Chains A and B, each alone.
Chain A
Amino acid sequence: AQKVTQAQTEISVVEKEDVTLDCVYETRDTTYYLFWYKQPPSGELVFLIRRNSFDEQNEISGRYSWNFQKSTSSFNFTITASQVVDSAVYFCALSELNFGNEKLTFGTGTRLTIIP
């Protein structure tokens, strides 16, 4: 069975600091997708990134970067020069590519608070 662990329940950093959110996953499949979502106070989940299990290249998008390491089953998310607008709950998710059983399994989320 697939499982996603986000060990950090809450993190607080001062504005402009860098912060890394950890995500560790478990799956029996060799083919899967990993995702990060942001949930602002409004409640809607906002898609940030999707990564195929065959693509271990790290990705950078502005102040956001992701580090995917299959050897440690981790998909960590770093925000550089954090801003108050980054305050939200962040979810890591996993989806296995089994026909007929395609669903997202979410971690429990990390609440990030950026202190001005």
Chain B
Amino acid sequence: DGGITQSPKYLFRKEGQNVTLSCEQNLNHDAMYWYRQDPGQGLRLIYYSQIVNDFQKGDIAEGYSVSREKKESFPLTVTSAQKNPTAFYLCASTHWRGGRANTEAFFGQGTRLTVV
């Protein structure tokens, strides 16, 4: 079945360490997105990528980095510079046709990151 796979589901990190969250999709979608979810704040966009080898900062990119070397994969690295990394992270993807996205976004099941 097609879909988006995020791993791991739960992740614990010591302060000062970088950690990478995986996101893989087999939907042949062009665009991929990373969102952060905190209680009471909804989802906020971290980074997004419309094509391979290209990505743009979202609203809260500081302390995060991404890469898009393959169409199917969009890993997110939470660096030690991110001051409050404990959150729920969601990856999403959409089609991209003629310069337009905005078909429904498909979401993964999320990764819950806790800094200990």
Contacts and interface: CB of A to CB of B under 8 A. Distances in A.
Contact of B42 (A35, A100, A109): A109
A105 B60 CA distance: 13
Contact of B104 (A35, A91, A100, A102): A35
Interface residues of B, number: 28
Given A43-B110, A45-B107, A102 B42 contact: no
B106 A47 contact: yes
Interface of B is mostly: strand
Interface in A64-116: 91, 95, 97, 99-100, 102-109
Contacts, number: 60
Contacts of B106: 47
Nearest to A109: B42
Interface string B16-45: 000000000000000101010000111111
A97 to B, nearest CB: 6
Given A44-B108, A50-B103, A103-B33, A108 B40 contact: yes
Nearest to A95: B102
B102 A102 contact: yes
A46 B43 CA distance: 14
B42 A103 contact: no
A20 to B, nearest CB: 19
A42 interface: yes
Given A43-B110, A103-B33, A103-B48, A97 B40 contact: no
Interface of B: 31, 33, 35, 40-45, 48, 50, 58, 88, 90, 92, 99-110, 112
Interface of A: 6, 9, 33, 35, 37, 42-47, 50, 91, 95, 97, 99-100, 102-109
Q: What 7 pairs between A and B have smallest CB-CB spacing?
A: A108-B42, A45-B107, A43-B110, A106-B43, A47-B104, A102-B101, A106-B42
